[in-house]
Structure 1
Amino acid sequence: MYSKIAINNVKKRFKDYTIYFLTIAFAVCIFYSFNSIESQKALLDMNKNQAEYMSLVTTLISYVSVFVSFILGGLILYANNFLIKKRKKELGIYMTLGMSKRKISKILLSETLIVGVLSLIAGLLLGLVVSQGLSLFTAKLFDVGMTEFKFIISSSAILKTVLYFALIFGVLMIFNTRIIAKYKLIDMLTAARKSEDIKIKNPIISSIIFISGIIILGTAYYLVTKSGLNPDKLGFKLSIVFGIIGTAGFFYGIAGFLLGVIQRSKNIYLKKLNIFVTRQISSKVNTNFVSMTVISLMLFITIVLLSTGLSFKSALEKGIVVPFDASVKLFTDEENKYKSMEDVFKAINYDFNGKEPIFINGYIIDGIDANMILKDYAVGEFKKSLDNGKHRWEYIDAIKISDYNKIRSLYGEEPLSINDNEILVTSNFTEAKDSVKNFIKNSPQVSIAGKEYKVANKEYLNEAVYNSELADNVLTIIVPDDFKDMTLNAAYMNMNYKNPNDPDEEEDMNSLFDSFRRYDEIYDLPMIRATKSQIYEASKGLTTMILYIGLYLGVVFLISSAAVLALQQLSEASDSSDRYKALKKIGATEKMINKTIFTQTAIYFAMPLILAIVSSIVGISVVNKFIALYGKPNIGPTALLTLGILVIVYGGYFYVTYAGYKSIVKNSK
């Protein structure tokens, strides 16, 4: 009997369950899609290193999913509370007909179970489709082919999704039982007559708080712009605190401020139903300024994460410096036994089997640094970095011309020669490029160790001494072989494979680098070693992790924000039904009422989004400056992707809310 009543209730109130159903279905879809990543490895033509990074991504997603489950659980409880509140009178009628609270709880449990199962099935079906697209996305991120395309169903992800949401619904059922037990019959029967009073704060106080909020937000923007994306700086930490306080002040005061401004403009305030719309919005924002603050901050995080993710990946990969197939850097100092890579390979009895590596040494020159050389020629952002102390060096790197020509031989380039009073200047640091070019063009000579040297190269030399994850050669000078005033700092081995397409050569070098871990303990060899493939795979693994986590959290935050706004507006519709009846009685047409509903729903959805977009412009510019250290950022494609997701999810919730609001007002009796 209870299940039959529950089924009839779900059918009858399906419109009321729309937001609830959509929210759970979207949540299940996202949860399943990202937790099915592990199964995608079967489709992708990955090597051992790529598979390891994929496993790391999967592990990280699992940890993040625990956090996500709490967010989604809270969201589902919030949505459920709206439904219970809306049905108080109906549940009160059940009690007057002699039904006990225990039996009412059983009906609610049955309804929750029915809607939950339907949402779970719909979400899983949608997730199965989305996860296939995620497979193609993963292949693109790792730059690998697909062995074959098959429709993959991840049983482990299904089991995990069902388990997590079963726990959420278990908590939900307990919550419903406790709520029903606390309700009094009189409160349930009179719930429909109780509506939230319109609360308007003092416009003067609101205006002061609103303006203060804007000033604090402006301060936050200034601080984060000056300090950059550097968590160690006080300015960055303060920008976060001020950003939160400023956002809260903005929403606490904006309703009273705008109400005061609009009331002064009688032509606007007294036009049609604008009085009603203005006071409705002001009241709702006043009541929910805390949730509006949280929603705006979540939307800000979502927009920044989604807009900069792919740009970061692209810039990081462009910033990779891998001129050689394999490279080793040994850090040398007085305590180290080995001063060259040749000695290291002799000590471990390694046979290169016909390969022809080059061995070079790196030096540092004390008493001079990149700041001293470039300060008079620095331009743009690099000049600002030097002026504010962001970049500081205590020495300058140098290598001998004979070693430099060994590097050129691996490039297939002709050797260069310099006189005893000449040097070459090389760099590959993106931010310093224009400054180094300016120095080469305009600097007649450089004083090093008490002697004047002429810069021999007239063109910018974009060079690297070894393979690296990023272009970090700010300035390296090439000195004559007889230059004495420098200290040995590092020893290098670089080589190219005879056949770059032969996987055995890569595997052989991987084995050598793995063996260095054992030799580290025996010979104390502080070194960096990497093949070209290893660096690319590490970069793709890192960027894939960042992208997946950003996309995962971004979409969850977006769904949560839109769902909460929708539920608040639908709750407002239920509370305000008597006010709309009064409007009809005084002659307001259905068209006028629908317009007021559209206007206030649009404004309510737009307010947190607009502030989030403004904050995101600042946030994205700061992130782009950080990304520019690795390569030129391009947020065009990701901005379009973000816009598409916002339109689909946020716009979809807005439309469903508007339609639901109209339905509630139209059917109110």
Structure 2
Amino acid sequence: MYVRLAINNAKRSIKDYLIYFITITLCVSLFYAFTSMSSSSYELITEDSLNFELLKQILKYSTYIVTALLVLLIGYVNKYMIKRRQKEFATYILLGTEQKSVALMFFIEMLIIGIGSIVLGVFIGTLFSQVVTAVVLMTAKQDIIFSFKLYMDTVIITFIFFIAMFCIIGFFNMKALGKVKIIDMINAQKKTEFQFKRSKIVYVSIFIVAIVLYSVCGYCSYEILKTTVTKGDKAIYISIALIGYIIGTYALFYSLAYIIIAVKDKWINFKYEYTNLFLIGAIVSKIKTAPILMATISITFLGAALSFTLTLLMSQWTLGFLDYRVPYDIFINNDYSMITDTSDIAKISDLPKMDYKKIIEHLNNDGYNIDDYCQAEKYFLNIDDFKVRDKGKTPMLAISLSDYNKLRKMMGYEKVTLNNNEFTMQWAKLIEDTDIGNYIKENSTITIDGNNLKISSNSYYKESIGEGIYNGNTNALVVLPDEWCKELNLAGTDFFANTKEKISYDKALSLEKQYVPQWFKENYSKVLSEYNKDNSRAFYPIFTRVKVAEVSEILNATLAMRILGMYLGTVLLMISLTVLALQQLSDSIEHKERFKTLKKLGIDNNEINKIILKQIALYFIMPISVAVIGFVIFMYNVANIGSKVISLYVGDSVFVFNIGISLAIILIIYICYFVATYYTFKRNVKGRSKSC
């Protein structure tokens, strides 16, 4: 009997709480879509230069964490439904049903709804999984191929994960419902979460505090944009701004209902104009009974918007930075700074003039064929620079003009020429031209072996020749005519190469982790023995970076950010909008007598529909408007602080485009929930009040 009653109630619950059912279904479908990528039978890309095993593992475990946020939504909706139906539960108990049986019936009812959403979500998830696959393939510049199929291991994981979630929440609901007194069940709908219990001065003071905190947030944002503010101070300002915004939001909604009532009482003409009194009363009633919930929804909505936007921008920045970081197929860096024993300056002569011919032969023998390469030697401008290990004082190194031009040729740039008494400089793209100009103005000449060299008329170049060419944090390199380099001490020899055939991912890892370190150990054992006498660590003053491996790893990180950011944003957005929608739908059921009264007063159906539309619109807009203000301030700061990075690695148009995509997704989801709430609200009013 109880099972049959639970099934009937479940059918009714689906009708009354369709938005909740749809939300859970969509979350299940997203969970299935992302988790399916880790299925043993899932095939993504077969090209041997790419490996997405890391992405699969990231999505597999991160999806669990993100989806676990649904516990908050499911727990809230269950608590909300229990409260709404406590009078019904009290009736069952008065008719002779045991209270624990009523609790069990409610648990079965919610479990049935949950299972229905899982089944439907899995099938919709097969469509979403194709979208995820398409995103991966487009990012990796591969042909898009669709394959609709169910992955049974993922289906089982999805069922276990969500049913476990429903059961855990159901257990606590049964326990809580079993302790509620019958008299409290009967009077449950008469209670509110919050009422005005304090004096006028308290609410006005809290409202003023909210305004002050928002002003502090704005002031901190203004200070953050100043170039004179240090990184440490910026972190403090950001923290203060964030805390001020959050506390200010809760203070605003705590006092907002009282402020609206105070304004309404002063604005007499507007208050009694047509149906405004009814509309204001409905809005104030909701804000007054759930201020903490409204503020939490606002913060959650802001988190969703930032999750959408920032992850898209960060992934785009990562892809843009990739071309700058690894422009050559193979790069091997000989880093002298890993030699920690600098007590004897004479040991600088032990630094080897490395020869990479064996590595070239090795790659050619494996069929990858070196297309072009350069062994670039770098030099100390001052012999004492060898002893500097302070990262803040890292010295600039020099490179010969011939090696520099060879690197430029490999990248397709024009040749650079210098007179015998001139030098020029190579700078990282990220450095501002004004900063470079100021440095050159103060360092327009350098002295080598007692001879002064002046800066060339073409004083610097910023075309990308790789991140690793620079010494530590210097972001600059001095370019000298070849003959002057003979007078300087060698700091290291770097290797740059491009191959005719694309290297496989496994081969790239083998080069980085095995072959190159072993080659260095066999050919330059003197360096190892001299500077690692106690064998306390595996010391290799050499670092290898293969473009194929870097591309694969960066694509894994990029896709993980992009996919999880959109997933997290969607989940947070659906949680926010579902709670907003359920709050309004409860109003359509609990306060239907208001609409019946309006009908008796001569208000026609069209006007009632307008009132419903205004009520829902205002209720949806208020918390989201506060979130939009925070979003605009945050993105304005991002655009200004990171303007150089955005311009170089993302592009201004792509930056705006990514924000546009994020806002478009949010707007589409928002409109869907708004429209669904509006039509369900009307159905509830008309279906439960025939006079309407």
Aligned partners of 2:380, 2:168: CA distance in 1, in Å?
A: 64
8 Å Cα contact 2:303-2:569 kept in structure 1? yes
Distance 1:129 1:509, change over 3 A: closer
Out of 198-207 and 81-90, give the one that drifted further.
198-207
Shift of 1:406: 3.2
Aligned partners of 1:488, 1:607: CA distance in 2, in Å?
A: 66
- Residue 36 of structure 1 aligns to a residue whose secondary structure is helix
Q: Residue in 1 aligned with 2:542?
A: 527
Shift of 1:559: 0.9
Find the partner of 2:158 among 161, 167, 185: 161
- The 5 A counterparts of 1:175-324 are 175-192=172-189, 199=196, 202=200, 204-222=204-222, 224-225=224-225, 233-319=235-321, 320-321=323-324, 322-324=326-328
8 Å Cα contact 1:223-1:238 kept in structure 2? no
Shift of 1:489: 4.1
CA RMSD of aligned residues (A): 3.9
Structure 2 unpaired stretches of 5+: 342-347, 386-390, 529-538
Distance 1:123 1:338, change over 3 A: farther
8 Å Cα contact 1:364-1:489 kept in structure 2? yes
Distance 1:594 1:448, change over 3 A: same
After superposition, what is the alpha-carbon deviation per residue over 1:91-144, rounded to whole angstroms, capped at 9, x for unaligned?
A: 222223222223323432332232112111111111111111111111112223
Q: Residue in 2 aligned with 1:652?
A: 672
After superposition, what is the alpha-carbon deviation per residue over 1:312-365, rounded to whole angstroms, capped at 9, x for unaligned?
A: 333332332244221111101464896346257779996866846321222455
Distance 1:351 1:474, change over 3 A: closer
Find the partner of 1:563 among 573, 578, 593: 578
Distance 1:342 1:132, change over 3 A: same
2:376 corresponds to 1:360: yes
Q: Residue in 2 aligned with 1:478?
A: 479
Amino acid at match of 2:495: M
- The 5 A counterparts of 1:414-453 are 416-433=416-433, 436=436, 446-449=444-447, 451=452, 453=454
Q: Given the two structures, how large is their TM-score scaled by the length of structure 2?
A: 0.81
Shift of 1:72: 0.6
Shift of 1:558: 0.8
Q: Residue in 1 aligned with 2:531?
A: none
Shift of 1:218: 1.5
Shift of 1:511: 3.4
- The 5 A counterparts of 1:337-348 are 339-340=351-352, 342-343=354-355
Q: Given the two structures, how large is their TM-score scaled by the length of structure 1?
A: 0.84
Q: Residue in 2 aligned with 1:150?
A: 147
8 Å Cα contact 2:211-2:248 kept in structure 1? no
8 Å Cα contact 2:418-2:456 kept in structure 1? no
Aligned partners of 1:35, 1:108: CA distance in 2, in Å?
A: 30
Aligned partners of 1:21, 1:39: CA distance in 2, in Å?
A: 26
8 Å Cα contact 1:326-1:509 kept in structure 2? no
- Residue 44 of structure 1 aligns to a residue whose secondary structure is coil
Q: Percent identity?
A: 26
2:615 corresponds to 1:600: yes
Aligned partners of 2:489, 2:85: CA distance in 1, in Å?
A: 81
- Residue 68 of structure 2 aligns to a residue whose secondary structure is helix
- Residue 324 of structure 1 aligns to a residue whose secondary structure is coil
Shift of 1:553: 1.1
Aligned partners of 1:219, 1:458: CA distance in 2, in Å?
A: 40
Find the partner of 2:634 among 619, 624, 643: 619
Q: Residue in 1 aligned with 2:333?
A: 329
After superposition, what is the alpha-carbon deviation per residue over 1:183-206, rounded to whole angstroms, capped at 9, x for unaligned?
A: 333333444555678649736335
Q: Residue in 2 aligned with 1:550?
A: 565
Across the two proteins, how many residue pairs are aligned to each other?
639
Aligned partners of 1:444, 1:639: CA distance in 2, in Å?
A: 41
Distance 1:594 1:426, change over 3 A: same
After superposition, what is the alpha-carbon deviation per residue over 1:569-623, rounded to whole angstroms, capped at 9, x for unaligned?
A: 2334444344445545555444444333322221221122222222222322344
2:69 corresponds to 1:71: yes
Distance 1:74 1:465, change over 3 A: closer
- Residue 398 of structure 1 aligns to a residue whose secondary structure is strand
Aligned partners of 2:251, 2:415: CA distance in 1, in Å?
A: 65
Aligned partners of 1:3, 1:351: CA distance in 2, in Å?
A: 70
- Residue 99 of structure 1 aligns to a residue whose secondary structure is coil
Distance 1:10 1:229, change over 3 A: farther
